[in-house]
Amino acid sequence: MRLRLKTLAPWLASVLGAMFVVWAIIGSLQADDRVTIRGNYYREVSTRVLQPLVIVHKDVPDERLTIGASYMLDAISSASIAAGAAAVTGGDNVFTEIRHETTATVASRLPNWTLGGFFRYSTESDYISRSFGFSVARDLFQRAGTLSVAYSANLDRTFQIRQSFRDTVPWTSADPDDPDATNLVQIHYLSLGYSHALHRTLLAGAVLEGIYATGPQDNPYRRIDGALNESHPHLRRRLAMTGFLRWAVLKAHMVVEPRYRFYHDDWGITAHAIDPRIHFRVAKHLRLRLRYRFYHQTKAYFFLPMDERPYPADAEYISADPKMSRFLSHTPGLQLVVELDGLARYNRLKWLRGAFIEATYNHVFQTNRFGAARLGNLTLSIPF
């Protein structure tokens, strides 16, 4: 059940889409035989998410064709009334839901071309998701520039757990007698990216993203003023633009990476995100990344703050989602990467050549009702 992650779905779609474009641009870096084990952790006042993940990539026989597979177990525990736990548990009790997700990928690195595609399937007690996508990247100007195009689609079925009847019913967020009502959520993502080496130590890039979503996009468990079901528009169109620079300061063993992202949708939300990062080569086999992200957004046109409620009786759309409100956030974070090549000099540990351990932590200070959040992950990646 997407008690918490459903509220993040628009942002996750944008973030995952941006990651997909980056993967298209630097896909050749993933073209080796490798197994990666990662544990993701998310924690806020009333919600905890644990995500163990296993990823395997295999060249068959080389980077001209790379296949991959992954499996993720997503355990979400929530006691948040705002997220709808009370509707499922019958009170303000902790509710834990398990999601299983599998992904298959294929990639190919050819002269001046990088191709990729994926299919993903995930399921839980009240949510079934199928998604697929492909990407194409072309090196230009003697590989000084890279142009990429990516498309992905999510086809999701949303259900509602009825605690009283202990069953599930399709969630349409509409009149149940409407013959056109559906519980299918469709999200289509299209992006165009370009990066160019302006100097041997300076890389610039930009990504333009468009997202078109239809279907019920509200939380079936969240209540307005403790009574009414949330109701969001069934159509959402979004546009985002991202620009970045990567400047290598060779003498300082440092890379400076300023980023800016602009977002706007037809729900009235406009957002700005400034996300500078600094990468250090601290030692021969130790890397450090520092980042700070500032995010600010306006509220959706149909959202009313608590001090302006109740909603009018004739309101077409109503929401209690904090992510629809006006808010800002500050996110400092750090990442450490320990490369294990130093251990590979020992005969019994040669298999560690190219392996690394990565630890990331981000702390989110936000002014909406969710309050502070902590995000972290620990990764072990080993070639085979």
* Total structural domains within the chain: 1
Residue 223 confidence (pLDDT): 85
Q: What is the pLDDT of residue 94?
A: 61
Return d(Cα 324, Cα 303) in angstroms, integer.
6
The token pair at 362 is: 């981000």
Q: What are φ and ψ of residue 58, in 5° steps?
A: -140, 125
Per DSSP, the three-state class of 39 is strand
- 21 has a pLDDT exceeding 50: no
Please give the average per-residue pLDDT across 93-104, as a whole number. 86
DSSP notation for 211-273 = EEEES--S-TT-EETTTEEPB--SEEEEEEEEEEEEEEEGGGTEEEE-EEEEEEETTS-EEEE
pLDDT digits (tens, 9 = 90+) for 256-279: 999 999 999 999 999 999 999 999
Q: Is a pLDDT exceeding 90 seen at residue 255?
A: yes
pLDDT score of 176: 61
Q: How far is CA 153 from the centre of its chain?
A: 14
Q: Which residue do the tokens 């706007």 mark?
A: 264
- What average pLDDT does range 284-301 have in this prediction? 98
Q: Is 171 helix (H, G, I), strand (E, B) or coil?
A: coil
Q: What's the token pair of residue 255?
A: 């890379």
Q: Binning pLDDT at 50, 70 and 90, where does residue 167 land?
A: confident
User: Which pTM was predicted?
Assistant: 0.85
Residue 244 binned pLDDT confidence (cut-offs 50, 70, 90): very high
The CATH number of the domain holding residue 362 is 2.40.160.40
- pLDDT given at position 194: 98
pLDDT at residue 143 tops 80:
yes
Domain extent for 275: 5-383
User: Where is mean pLDDT largest: 21-35, 121-135, 163-177?
Assistant: 121-135
Cβ-contact 92, 85 below 8 angstroms: yes
Alpha helices in the chain (DSSP H): 5-25, 85-89
Q: Which two tokens stand for residue 63?
A: 């980077």
The H or E element containing residue 107 is: strand 95-110
Residue 128: strand pairing partners: 123, 157
